Amino acid sequence: MGEVYALKIRIKFRKYGVMKFIGHLDMMRYFQKCMRRAEIDIAYSEGFSPHQIMSFAAPLGVGITSDGEYVDIEVHSSQSSEESIKKLNEVMVEGVEIISYRKLGDTDKNAMSLVAAADYKLYFKDDYEAPSVNYQEVYRKFFLNPSEILITKQTKKSERTFDLKKLVYDFQIDYDRKGKPVFYLKVSTGSSDNLKPELVLESFFKSEGITINPLSVQIHRIDVYGKNETGFVSLGEMGEIIE
Partner 1 sequence: MTQPALKDEILLAIDKPARYIGNEVNMIKKNPKDVAIRFAMCFPDVYEIGMSHLGIQILYDMFNQREDVYCERVYSPWPDLHAILKEKKIPLFALETQQPVKDFDFLGITIQYEMCYTNILQVLDLSLIPVKSKERTKEHPFVIGGGPCAYNPEPLADFFDMFYIGEGETVYDRLFDCYKEWKSAGKSRREFLVEASKIPGIYVPSLYEVTYKEDKTIASFTPVEKGVPEKIQKQVVMDMTGASYPKKPLVPFIKATQDRVVLEIQRGCIRGCRFCQAGMIYRPTREKDLEVLKRQAFHMLKNTGHEEISLSSLSSSDYSDLKELVTYLIDEFKGKGINISLPSLRIDAFSLDVMSKVQDVRKSSLTFAPEAGSQRLRDVINKGLTEEVILQGAKEAFLGGWQKVKLYFMLGLPTETEEDMASIGELANKIAAAYYEIPKDRRNGRCQITISTSFFVPKPFTPFQWAKMYKKEHYLSCAKVVNDSVKGQLNRKSIKYNWHEADVTVLEGILARGDRRLGKVIQRAYEKGCIFDAWSDFFDNEKWMEAFLECKIDPDFYTLRERSFDEILPWDFIDAGVTKDFLKKQYETALAGHVTLNCRVKCSGCGANKYGGGVCIENKNQVP
Q: Which is nearer to partner 1, 22 or 133 (CB)?
A: 22
Residue 74 one-letter amino acid = E
Among 5, 24, 29, 134, binds partner 1 (CB under 8 A): 29
Among 76, 82, 93, 136, binds partner 1 (CB under 8 A): 93
Q: Which is nearer to partner 1, 26 or 208 (CB)?
A: 26
Long-range contacts of 227-232 (CB under 8 A, 24+ apart): 227/114, 227/116, 227/117, 232/116, 232/117, 232/169, 232/186
Q: Which of 142, 157, 146 is nearest to 202 (CA)?
A: 142
Dist CA 78 CA 87 (whole Å)? 12
* Residue 30 binds partner 1 (CB under 8 A): yes
Among 62, 144, 150, 210, binds partner 1 (CB under 8 A): 62
CA-CA distances (angstroms) from residue 63 to 8, 17, 34, 196, 215?
A: 30, 10, 22, 13, 9
Cβ-contact 87, 36 below 8 angstroms: no
Dist CA 65 CA 222 (whole Å)? 9
Q: Which is nearer to partner 1, 176 or 237 (CB)?
A: 176
Among 3, 46, 49, 159, binds partner 1 (CB under 8 A): 49
* Residue 210 binds partner 1 (CB under 8 A): no
Q: Which of 137, 215, 142, 127 is nearest to 178 (CA)?
A: 127
User: Residue 21 CB, nearest distance to partner 1 (Å)?
Assistant: 4
Segment (H or E) for 123: strand 117-124
* Residue 32 binds partner 1 (CB under 8 A): yes
Q: Which is nearer to partner 1, 5 or 231 (CB)?
A: 5
Q: Which is nearer to partner 1, 50 or 105 (CB)?
A: 50
* Residue 50 binds partner 1 (CB under 8 A): yes
Binding site for partner 1 (CB under 8 A): 17-19, 21-23, 26, 29-30, 32-37, 44, 48-52, 62-63, 91, 93-95, 125, 127, 215, 218
